[in-house]
Structure 1
Amino acid sequence: MSTEFQAPTARYVPPRTRIMLAALPLAGFAVWAMTHLVATVTTFTTSFGAMCVAWTASFLTLWWVPVSWMERPFRASGEQRAALDALTVAVQVPVYNEDPAALRACLRSVLAQSRRVDRVLVVDDGSVDARGRPATLDDVRREFEEAASALGVETAWERTPNRGKRFAQMHVLATDDADVFVTLDSDSVLDRHAVREGLLPFADPRVRSVAGHVLVLNRTASLLTRMTCVLYLPFTRGVRSAQSVLRRVTINSGTLAFYRGDVVRRSAGVYEHERFAGRPMQMNDDSMLTFYALLQGDTVHQPSAIAFTLVPERLDHYLKQQLRWMRGTTVRHLWWLRYMPVTGAVFWMTVSEYLHLVLAVLLPSVLLLDPSSRANLGAVAASGTQVGIVLCYLSGLRIFTVRRSDESPWSRAALFACTPLIALWRLLVLRPLYLYAMCTCRRVGDWGTRKAVEVSLAEPASLPATSPAPAGSLKKG
């Protein structure tokens, strides 16, 4: 008998007094370091005025660091919860060359939700085995359909020719009449309350999409996966959290996202056929659906709707994934600059990101060109390093906003301590890769990077025994 995989659980912890007490001395040290930096620049550079302006602009591009702490999980009244329970919710899972154990765990977590979903729509987008023959997932399908039937959850499982993730999604979503669509990757494992929490923002009729909170499932698999836990922080609990405060989240992760049904249905026929520079665009599907939602209303992040995902364990897989994401994001930046209003937050958030990138290259160049600062480069660099370390720790504090069942406080503290070292990886590896991705963004292609399974679940998984969800949390009807 196979050992049943037990997914970790997680709980979002809003910032408490202890976090703010930790932030205050760090913020104070940041002020001291900035003062010291200005004093250094004043002493050793002849272009003091220009440097002060440049440094100020650099810090303004980090607006999201303090704003992210203003995020709070969405809540709903009893009357609103009753209305949310009456919504029809459909979950769509596109599958392409996925590890069977990971897919089992994904489907298991969907059926085990405390707020039961109405239907689950699985589309196998032409998976193949290592020899290029059609891959069969019959055992996974049979177990899933039996478990869903016992719970009264509708299912559909279809296999289509390989055309890409967007076609796999719209194959079933374009004609489905659900009020809310939940999109998952086939290696997503949901926290038990993910759907319940993800629906809460829809109590506000202005909300058109909700981003889930993404955590790393295989965090202890390698040094790279441990690093990824921290590398995810600036976006998943930083920029996205700050954007949610403004109700202008720009990218929902495919790991877990929620959309009003009409947002997705209206995009059918266009979404699948996006083109860039005359080429079909299949990557960055999640940001495109978010873009459609942005055009119609508010887009937010629900930090208590948690999903775990498998991340690359090998460097080649990791770099290939990052390059694909970066190229797709570059294309989406152009879309935001073109279609988002100049007076809106999304336009200026995009400008801010590019300004940050330009200044990261421009400031060191100016320092090297200035004779006085070049002669005292050590002192200037030391002051800049101090500020950088403090900013890394201020951003890294967000690691303490989530408690995982499989992670001890000491593990979180160790990751927090390593934040500046991991920031070097971002600076020395990811920054050059991003510049390369920007220059090669025309190379858009299919949705999958794997010719075969690349990340497997450490333990075999099986679908759960049927068990009732808590009273009051089920779809009524």
Structure 2
Amino acid sequence: MPTARYANHRKLLLLGALPIAGFAAWGLAHLAALAGAIEGHPYDMSAAWMASFLLLWWVPLAWFERPIRAPRERRAELDALTVTVQIPVYNEDPEALRACLRSVLAQSRPVDRVRVVNDGSADKATGAPIHYDDVRREFEAAAARLGVETTWDRTENRGKRFAQMHVLAHDDADIFMTLDSDSVLDRHAVREGLQPFADPRVQSVAGHVLVLNRTATLLTRLTCVLYLPFTRGLRSAQSVLRRVTINSGTLAFYRAAVVRRCAGAYENEHFRGRPMQMNDDSMLTFYALLAGDTVHQPSSMVFTLVPERFGHYANQQLRWMRGTTVRHLWWLRYMPLTGVVFWATVAEYLHLLLAVAIPVVLLADPVCRGHLGEFSMAAGQVGLAMCYLMALRLFTVERSDEPLRARLLMFALAPVASLWRLVVLRPLYLYALVTCWRINQWGTRGSVEVALTATGAAEPARV
């Protein structure tokens, strides 16, 4: 399995960021001047362009994120915390599940309990139940040798939230850790993830998600870059403000009291009369936000399997986008009007509105159409600079299975990811926005979608 280290090469990032930011500022100034100086145009569009740029507030703020370190005098308290790991399983590849469980037991800071819940996994073709007997026997024997308490339950298929709360509602641990069954922890993930809890105001900690099967297909390579704006961009900026809105269910830590208090309501959420099982991670983070601070720990890392086929990828994205749209309504309704979360949500929709409205105005107005080439050139320049500014975050993590030349190549091809967002993800998001009530349970996995052995990720990494 690969390992990772949060390096945060400050000088390298700063040297790259300064000229890129300057290039973006020059392009924006040119764009605003052009928009405000077209003769015969009835209105000044420079304000709209400037507003659209400023609504990307999180891009520069993300650069201030650093791993959170507990004061030396509080570390004994962290060591004394009881940590329960909950792993819901549904139609998972046995090898991926085996690797996941092994990584939990191999932690430098041991966990106290592991609760596995098989949510009615069954063979799609025959309907026969899947029990993972070999994986279970191996895991329970290894856990017993280490003195880690384990439970392994099988329930009827009711969805991920019911699988989680089946054991967490009555567990008396101090910290609950959620982990997806297709994900593998870095050796120090638990140790690092507990550091922020030295501050009693912190209620949840988001882990840092990396792609495990990064070399499997062109899509998985692209996903490594596509993850950046959220995993090392928006979430990092929110963490600086201590207002992370969505922890990845892949790896997250919660004060157990927060989760226990929401038992009953959490697994029975409905939207427009339909049960809401997806976006479990954003709902748990929402409860944590109501209780206190929520942060991201960039040094607590987990490797996860991502879709290798477009159909699986599109279904996953739709599920995430629809769930996030529903969660936006909760933030706007329940978050304080004077708080960061409320206004960041408003800003997101303003940015989306401007991203649609500006091109419509340029194409609809005959005067603007005459300058379309100039607008496109300046806007493309700004977009390119912002794309590379975010892609610099690739160099904050050093992976044992990713040589420097691979990161340099991904950085060079970062504009391809931006084009993908514009051509594929933006239309998909608009579709998800107007069909957000089409929700189901797990959403993507009627059968095993990604097998660990098929990706080659199970082979030992060479450092």
Pair 1:440-2:432 in alignment: no
* Alpha-carbon distance between aligned partners in 1 of 2:457 and 2:278, rounded to the nearest angstrom: 29
- Tell me which of 280, 287, 290 is aligned to 1:292: 287
Pair 1:333-2:333 in alignment: no
Pair 1:22-2:6 in alignment: no
Equivalent residue number for residue 106 of structure 2: 112
CA contact (8 A) 2:214 2:224 kept: yes
> Which residue identity lines up with residue 364 of structure 1 in the other structure?
P
CA contact (8 A) 1:102 1:461 kept: no
> Which residue identity lines up with residue 94 of structure 1 in the other structure?
P
* Alpha-carbon distance between aligned partners in 2 of 1:50 and 1:151, rounded to the nearest angstrom: 68
> Which residue identity lines up with residue 372 of structure 1 in the other structure?
V
- SS for the counterpart of 1:156 is strand
How far does the alpha carbon of each residue in 1:25-63 deviate from its partner, in whole angstroms, 9 at most, with x for none?
A: 111211222232234334436448631110111011100
Equivalent residue number for residue 242 of structure 2: 247
Following TM superposition, by how much is the alpha carbon of 1:77 offset from its aligned partner in structure 2, in angstroms? Answer: 2.2
Equivalent residue number for residue 306 of structure 2: 311
* Alpha-carbon distance between aligned partners in 2 of 1:329 and 1:439, rounded to the nearest angstrom: 12
> Which residue identity lines up with residue 360 of structure 2 in the other structure?
S
Bigger shift: 39-48 or 211-220? 39-48
CA contact (8 A) 2:35 2:44 kept: no
Following TM superposition, by how much is the alpha carbon of 1:461 offset from its aligned partner in structure 2, in angstroms? Answer: 9.6
- Tell me which of 366, 390, 395 is aligned to 2:390: 395
* Alpha-carbon distance between aligned partners in 2 of 1:400 and 1:163, rounded to the nearest angstrom: 41
* Alpha-carbon distance between aligned partners in 1 of 2:275 and 2:40, rounded to the nearest angstrom: 51
Equivalent residue number for residue 267 of structure 1: 262
- Tell me which of 32, 37, 41 is aligned to 2:35: 41
Pair 1:189-2:184 in alignment: yes
Rate the CA distance shift 1:147–1:110 in 2: closer, same or farther, 3 A. same
Pair 1:79-2:73 in alignment: yes
Structure 2 residue ranges without an equivalent (≥5): none
Equivalent residue number for residue 347 of structure 1: 342
Q: Which has the higher contact order (CA 8 A, sep 6+)?
A: 1
* Alpha-carbon distance between aligned partners in 1 of 2:203 and 2:43, rounded to the nearest angstrom: 45
1:124-163 equivalence runs, <5 A: 124-130=118-124, 131-163=126-158
Across the aligned residues of Structure 1 and Structure 2, the Cα RMSD in angstroms comes to: 1.5
* Alpha-carbon distance between aligned partners in 2 of 1:233 and 1:376, rounded to the nearest angstrom: 33
- SS for the counterpart of 2:52 is helix
* Alpha-carbon distance between aligned partners in 2 of 1:234 and 1:194, rounded to the nearest angstrom: 22
Bigger shift: 26-35 or 431-440? 26-35
* Alpha-carbon distance between aligned partners in 1 of 2:440 and 2:449, rounded to the nearest angstrom: 19
CA contact (8 A) 1:14 1:401 kept: yes
Following TM superposition, by how much is the alpha carbon of 1:451 offset from its aligned partner in structure 2, in angstroms? Answer: 1.3
- SS for the counterpart of 1:458 is helix
Pair 1:13-2:7 in alignment: yes
- Tell me which of 376, 398, 410 is aligned to 2:405: 410
* Alpha-carbon distance between aligned partners in 2 of 1:52 and 1:40, rounded to the nearest angstrom: 8
Pair 1:279-2:274 in alignment: yes
Q: Normalising by the residue count of structure 2, what TM-score does the alignment of the two structures yield?
A: 0.96
Equivalent residue number for residue 122 of structure 1: 116
Pair 1:92-2:112 in alignment: no
Bigger shift: 143-152 or 7-16? 7-16
CA contact (8 A) 2:160 2:277 kept: yes
Equivalent residue number for residue 471 of structure 1: none
* Alpha-carbon distance between aligned partners in 1 of 2:291 and 2:44, rounded to the nearest angstrom: 41
How far does the alpha carbon of each residue in 1:152-183 deviate from its partner, in whole angstroms, 9 at most, with x for none?
A: 00000000011110000000000000000000
Pair 1:177-2:191 in alignment: no
Structure 1 residue ranges without an equivalent (≥5): 1-6, 465-477
* Alpha-carbon distance between aligned partners in 1 of 2:194 and 2:132, rounded to the nearest angstrom: 30
Equivalent residue number for residue 58 of structure 2: 64
Aligned length: 457
- SS for the counterpart of 1:254 is coil
- SS for the counterpart of 1:129 is coil
Rate the CA distance shift 1:156–1:48 in 2: closer, same or farther, 3 A. farther
Bigger shift: 230-239 or 359-368? 359-368
CA contact (8 A) 1:104 1:461 kept: no
CA contact (8 A) 2:278 2:442 kept: yes
* Alpha-carbon distance between aligned partners in 2 of 1:250 and 1:50, rounded to the nearest angstrom: 35
Rate the CA distance shift 1:48–1:22 in 2: closer, same or farther, 3 A. farther
- SS for the counterpart of 1:444 is coil
Identity of aligned residues (%): 71
- SS for the counterpart of 1:303 is strand
Bigger shift: 48-57 or 262-271? 48-57
Rate the CA distance shift 1:448–1:383 in 2: closer, same or farther, 3 A. closer
* Alpha-carbon distance between aligned partners in 1 of 2:457 and 2:307, rounded to the nearest angstrom: 19
* Alpha-carbon distance between aligned partners in 2 of 1:216 and 1:66, rounded to the nearest angstrom: 24
Equivalent residue number for residue 321 of structure 1: 316
Following TM superposition, by how much is the alpha carbon of 1:303 offset from its aligned partner in structure 2, in angstroms? Answer: 0.2
> Which residue identity lines up with residue 340 of structure 1 in the other structure?
M
- Tell me which of 15, 26, 30 is aligned to 1:32: 26
- SS for the counterpart of 2:355 is helix
Bigger shift: 33-42 or 255-264? 33-42
* Alpha-carbon distance between aligned partners in 2 of 1:85 and 1:255, rounded to the nearest angstrom: 23
* Alpha-carbon distance between aligned partners in 1 of 2:42 and 2:80, rounded to the nearest angstrom: 62
